[in-house]
Amino acid sequence: MASNSSSEYKIVADKIVSPDEDIVVKVRGAMYKDSIEEPNRYATIGEVGEGGSGVVGPTGPTGATGHTGATGATGLTGPTGATGASSTVAGPTGATGATGATGATGATGATGADSTVPGPTGATGPTGATGPTGATGPTGATGSANTGDITFDGIQIIGAGTASGDGGGYGTMQLVPDGDLTSDQYLIIDPTAPNHIHIRAGGTQDASTADLILGGENTNVLVSDTGDYVDIRTTSVDSNTYIYRFDSAGYLSGPAMGGLFVSGLLNGEGDLWLGSSDNNVILSPGPENSAYLGDASTVNNQIATIGDIVAATEPAATRWSPVFSATGLTFTGTGATYPTYESYYVKFGQIVTFNIAVSMSTVTNFGTGQFKVELPFLAIPSAANHFSAWAWVDPSEPADELNGHIQMVADHPPNSLVLDLHWLKETTATPKPLIESILSQGNPITFTTASKMYINGTYIAQTAP
């Protein structure tokens, strides 16, 4: 079926055949010959009668149904009728027709809203072959150094060149903070043999004119090639700065007049040496403290100075007041007026030298018993010493008179401080040796408040001080 501009519909066929010789054409309108014009309209017998005139007779009975004729050719498609009401029943889906030729691209429509659902990632296509390197373009103008933040994520920054400090030809990296600087004030990251990596000041290795400082101005570690030293600088809470320096000669110096404050020096693998090539080694403990070899709680571990040794080898005399006694003896002296107040001893180790002076100026009763005094320290247990003694009975008398000087001895039994005083006399036997006799008031002389006695000697004490 086809259509034309005059809305005509045609059935095109060689012939229309009916097996019973009748052809029934059912149309809604009229049928025309050649063109739609009233003179060309076909009329039925009912309209014109047989022969072209006469009244139409009554309709005869319906004849038997004839055989179905062959399907005729498809007639022209009639005009489209009015659209009927929408069906509520979905019809069957017809077969998909052949895809027609692609029409011309229409105008681009407005951009739709962004999708909130990401589409699937397409498969990665194969990597194409690397094209030839193009010619190097002209160098662009130098841009501003302030290019903002640079973020590196999982990549390497690789240096270039052959400027490693050991001459090994390795590449280095330079970090130049200010392009206007022409000095060595920049950093070099420098790999050297065999497996070293250096962070150093710019310029020639070990000859940089800039100091490398790790830290701020007040607290830092400073490496100086020009001075050949390393400083560790600290600043206290009161803003005092302290510098510990390792110099080119291998010396470590610190604050406080070149001293070094440490809590201890320890060599766990051998001897610890304290030495000076051409000066003294000084150990300086704090005030009221001493130096020790070993545990400071052990007195004998204290280090002695020459002054200490001289004091020990030349000990000073010590005054003491040994007990002066006898049966019935009484005196009023105490303290500086005690009868033996002016007595002294010197002790060096276990050697004791003593001098006992007895003044009787405060005696009120000389008693009747043997006069006795005491040693400053016990003698060794095996000793029973005899010491020289004498009495100045009356200082106004000549020494060779009986009331002048008399010779005496003082002795003690083992493990006793008490010295018993004796005077010496001849025996009645022949020959007449000197023997001891108990010294007491009236035997052999009578003492007065002007009388004095002296006992002195040296012995070995039981223990050292």
Pair 375, 320: CB distance under 8 Å: no
pLDDT of amino acid 3? 43
pLDDT of amino acid 437? 94
pLDDT of amino acid 5? 45
pLDDT tens digits for 291-346? 888 888 898 888 888 877 776 677 889 999 999 999 999 999 999 999 999 999 99
Provide the residue count of the chain: 465
Pair 360, 449: CB distance under 8 Å: yes
Pair 460, 351: CB distance under 8 Å: yes
pLDDT of amino acid 21? 63
Distance CA 350, CA 200 (A): 68
Distance CA 135, CA 255 (A): 64
pLDDT of amino acid 465? 61
Mean pLDDT in residue range 63-85: 70
pLDDT tens digits for 355-399? 999 999 999 999 999 999 999 999 999 999 999 999 999 988 887
Whether the predicted pLDDT of 257 surpasses 80: no
Tell me the pLDDT of the chain averaged across its residues.
82
pLDDT of amino acid 56? 47
pLDDT of amino acid 276? 74
Categorize the per-residue pLDDT at 410 as very low, low, confident or very high, splitting at 50, 70 and 90.
very high
pLDDT of amino acid 261? 66
Whether the predicted pLDDT of 63 surpasses 60: yes
State which of 32-36, 118-122, 274-278, 367-371 shows the largest mean pLDDT.
367-371
Categorize the per-residue pLDDT at 7 as very low, low, confident or very high, splitting at 50, 70 and 90.
low
pLDDT of amino acid 236? 79
User: Would you kindly state where each structural domain of the chain is located, as residue ranges?
Assistant: 318-460
